Chain A
Amino acid sequence: MVREVEETVLPGVGLQFSFVTSDGKRLCVVARRSGRHQVSLSHPDDPDANYEVLDLDESDARQLAELLGGSQVIRDLEAVQQLGHEVTIEWIVAGAAADGQTLGDLHVRGETGATIVAILRDNQPIVNPGPETPLQEGDQLAVLGTPAGVEQATALFSG
């Protein structure tokens, strides 16, 4: 479920991010320094070559990112609500055990059914963190889930 994103420098152009999708294609985002983003997929005949699917300017890219990220949070929220329990959000503090681990490493959602919807680090919010997001001791985590799930998550992070 957690995809490993490969980040490569394109000298003089910007950055290339890529991961392998669930149907085995290589999805690549070229982030130009100008703020333009090109999203492309590999071709089955030639796994190293990508076709441009989308060419987004800076504001388009921002909008799309917000849309995809935002819809993910709503889906997570709905998934929790479908459990038919009461849903709560609580702030918990990451302990030493979580330091240096990513959210994916800790399997928060799999273990507890709860979701980390935001991280507050040095008063800087990280909204809708992905599974690759590393944690630091002292991070404040907004946990969304059932009361039992949130309690389990609290134990997981502070343990």
Chain B
Amino acid sequence: MEGSSVLLEVGLVILLLSFVARLAGQLGISAMPLYVLAGLALGEGGIFPVATATEFLEIGAEIGVVLLLLMLGVEYRADELVDGLRRTAPLATADVVLNVGIGVAAGFILDLGWVGAVTLGGVTYASSSGIVAKAVDELGWLANRETPWVLSLLVAEDLVMAILLPLLAVVLVGSIGFSVVTQLVVAVGVTVIVLTIAVLGGERISRWLYTDHTEAMLLGALGLGLVVAGFAEQLQISAAVGAFLVGIAISGPAQELSRNLLRPLRDLFAALFFTFFSLTIDPRDIPAVLVPALLLALVTGATKYWPVSLGLKRLGIGERGRRRAGLLMLPRGEFSIVVAELGVASGAHHRLGPLAATYVLILSIAAPVLLRLASPSRLRPRLLPMP
């Protein structure tokens, strides 16, 4: 019976991911890189290739992207976005130019073609909000002077990403009827209009959406996220951005409630998304991209570290604080994989997927280790309150 074997395989995959997540918890790192590794093991050429669960994982992965971005938007309030962008504008500009620029340049050097190069620019750009926010909290750095700047820069990156993703989507799909320029203008225009509606009209939308009936609230937030993501995809401005903008619009009591309700769903589907992404990558392609991925990680590590460190020096933050802030910005994560997935799905060079996966693995595993080194035990705050 085929039906029961799908259940069996999906169950086994999820069970495996639960062990992986537990291991990540014990190592004190984000589970994301380990899900990517699990995907490599489960894919073609891996240790235990899955056969029948792929279709489910594919749909799960699509929902996973929507939930990842929806939750990211829900985490922020509209005024925090505006404030974050204003406070960090010069730094955020240097960040985009350097990190996107190096990715694109590396793409051309590695001969990935121009779709591959543009995608790689998106992969090397944004730091992982998920990993950084978690690290700040767990290391007890929330009260530090440098922390508001780090979090504001992350917010600015997420907003810039909301503009870059539709651009990327248009470039990747190529022109259909319109000229590419018209499409670019339309994509950015629609995004900016929806963003404005989300920021200004968020309260009204939230009041309409809010109910203290938890099931209705969960389904309402998820449904709205999926519908807008679907429309955004139809308009070729990427489902991820649609979901992010819905998240931003959700505010007030609806924000608090949907954050709690959506989190477990996000954890499940995001795990499927990270696994599915690397499922399509043959691990045998990785050795060939290992050296370029390492070099790229080194260079784009430096182009995150130095601008942040220099920017904070001007604000009077001390040496240790600058080092912490610089290291915090290193990990790339969910956004890089969302972008890489977009590129791979639109037929970018076959080395792009393995390269992006290896690059993200390096930075997302190395960064937490470096962060712990930057927080010597003598100065490390207690992680848990004493019993």
**Distance between Cα atoms of A26 and B316 in the complex (Å):** 14
Report chain B residues within 8 Å CB of A8.
148
Q: Chain A: interface residue count, which band?
A: 20 to 34
Asked if A9 contacts B83 (CB within 8 A), the reply is yes
Q: Chain B: interface residue count, which band?
A: 20 to 34
A-B contact count (CB 8 A): 80
B189 in contact (CB, < 8 A) = no
Q: A11-B84, A12-B80 are in contact. Are A40 and B143 (CB under 8 A)?
A: yes
Asked if A16 contacts B148 (CB within 8 A), the reply is yes
A79 in contact (CB, < 8 A) = no
**Distance between Cα atoms of A9 and B80 in the complex (Å):** 7
Q: A11-B155, A16-B148 are in contact. Are A45 and B379 (CB under 8 A)?
A: yes
**A33 nearest CB neighbor, chain B only:** B256
**A55 nearest CB neighbor, chain B only:** B385
Asked if A46 contacts B318 (CB within 8 A), the reply is yes
A10 in contact (CB, < 8 A) = yes
Which DSSP category, helix, strand, loop or mixed, fits chain B's interface?
helix
**B260 nearest CB neighbor, chain A only:** A34
Give the distance to chain B from A17, nearest Cβ to Cβ, in Å: 10
**A45 nearest CB neighbor, chain B only:** B379
Give the distance to chain B from A19, nearest Cβ to Cβ, in Å: 12
A103 in contact (CB, < 8 A) = no
Give the distance to chain B from A43, nearest Cβ to Cβ, in Å: 6
**Distance between Cα atoms of A48 and B379 in the complex (Å):** 12
Asked if A10 contacts B140 (CB within 8 A), the reply is no
B76 in contact (CB, < 8 A) = yes
A114 in contact (CB, < 8 A) = no
Give the distance to chain A from B335, nearest Cβ to Cβ, in Å: 15
Report chain B residues within 8 Å CB of A47.
145, 318
**Distance between Cα atoms of A48 and B83 in the complex (Å):** 22
- 21 A-B pairs (CB sep. < 8 Å): A9-B80, A9-B83, A9-B148, A10-B151, A11-B80, A11-B81, A11-B83, A11-B84, A11-B151, A12-B151, A13-B151, A16-B142, A16-B143, A28-B143, A30-B143, A47-B318, A48-B146, A49-B321, A49-B379, A52-B140, A55-B385
Seen from chain A, the residues whose Cβ lies within 8 Å of a Cβ on chain B are: 8-13, 16, 18, 26, 28-30, 33, 38, 40, 43, 45-52, 55
